Homo-oligomer: A and B are copies of this chain.
Amino acid sequence: MLMESLHSESAQPDAPEPDVLERLRQLCIERGLNGLASNLGELGLLVKEDMTQISAELDRLESQGSLAEQAAHYLMGVGGKRLRPMCVALAARVGTGLDQRTLDLAVSVELVHNATLLHDDVIDLAPSRRGLPTARSEFGNAASIFGGDWLLVEALRRVLGADVADALPRLLDTIDTMIRAESLQLERRSRLNTTEEVYFRIVEGKSAVLFRWALYAGARAGGLSTADCEALQDFGSNLGVAFQIIDDLLDFTGQQVDTGKALFTDLREGKMTYPLILACARDETLMPLLRRVCAASEEGRPVDVITSSAVLAKLEETNALRDSRTLAEQRIEAALDALNAVSVKGSDAVTALALVAQSTLHRDR
Enumerate chain A interface residues (CB-CB to B < 8 A).
64, 66-69, 119, 122-123, 141-143, 145-146, 148-150, 152-154, 156-157, 160, 168-169, 172-173, 175-176, 179-180, 182-184, 186-187
Which residue of B is nearest A175, CB measured? B153
Contacts of A142 in B (CB 8 A): 123, 186
Most buried by B among A143, A172, A183: A183
- Verify A157–B172 contact, CB threshold 8 A: yes
Most buried by B among A64, A67, A68, A156: A156
- Verify B68–A179 contact, CB threshold 8 A: yes
- Verify A146–B66 contact, CB threshold 8 A: no
Contacts known (A153-B172, A160-B168, A187-B66); A179 close to B146, Cβ less than 8 A: yes
Contacts of A168 in B (CB 8 A): 160
Contacts known (A153-B172, A153-B175); A180 close to B119, Cβ less than 8 A: no
- Verify B143–A183 contact, CB threshold 8 A: yes
Question: Smallest CB–CB gap between A344 and chain B, Å?
Answer: 30
Contacts of A64 in B (CB 8 A): 180
- Verify A176–B152 contact, CB threshold 8 A: no
How many Å lie between the Cα of A67 and that of B145 in the bound state?
Answer: 18
How many Å lie between the Cα of A122 and that of B141 in the bound state?
Answer: 9
Contacts of A186 in B (CB 8 A): 67-68, 142-143, 146
Contacts known (A145-B122, A145-B123, A146-B119); A69 close to B183, Cβ less than 8 A: yes
How many Å lie between the Cα of A156 and that of B157 in the bound state?
Answer: 11
Question: Smallest CB–CB gap between A73 and chain B, Å?
Answer: 13
Contacts of A153 in B (CB 8 A): 172, 175-176, 179
How many Å lie between the Cα of A288 and that of B184 in the bound state?
Answer: 48
Q: List 7 A-B residue pairs with CB atoms under 8 Å apart, sorted by A's residue number.
A: A68-B183, A119-B145, A119-B146, A123-B142, A150-B179, A157-B172, A157-B176
Which residue of B is nearest A123, CB measured? B142
Contacts of A180 in B (CB 8 A): 64, 66, 68-69, 150
* One of B148, B149, B172 near A160 (C-beta < 8 A): B172
Contacts of A123 in B (CB 8 A): 141-142, 145-146
- Verify B187–A172 contact, CB threshold 8 A: no
Known: A68-B180, A69-B180. 15 other contacts (CB 8 A): A64-B180, A66-B180, A66-B183, A67-B183, A68-B186, A69-B183, A122-B141, A146-B182, A146-B183, A146-B186, A150-B180, A156-B156, A157-B169, A157-B176, A160-B169
Question: Smallest CB–CB gap between A43 and chain B, Å?
Answer: 36
Contacts of A160 in B (CB 8 A): 168-169, 172
Which residue of B is nearest A70, CB measured? B183
Contacts of A182 in B (CB 8 A): 68, 146
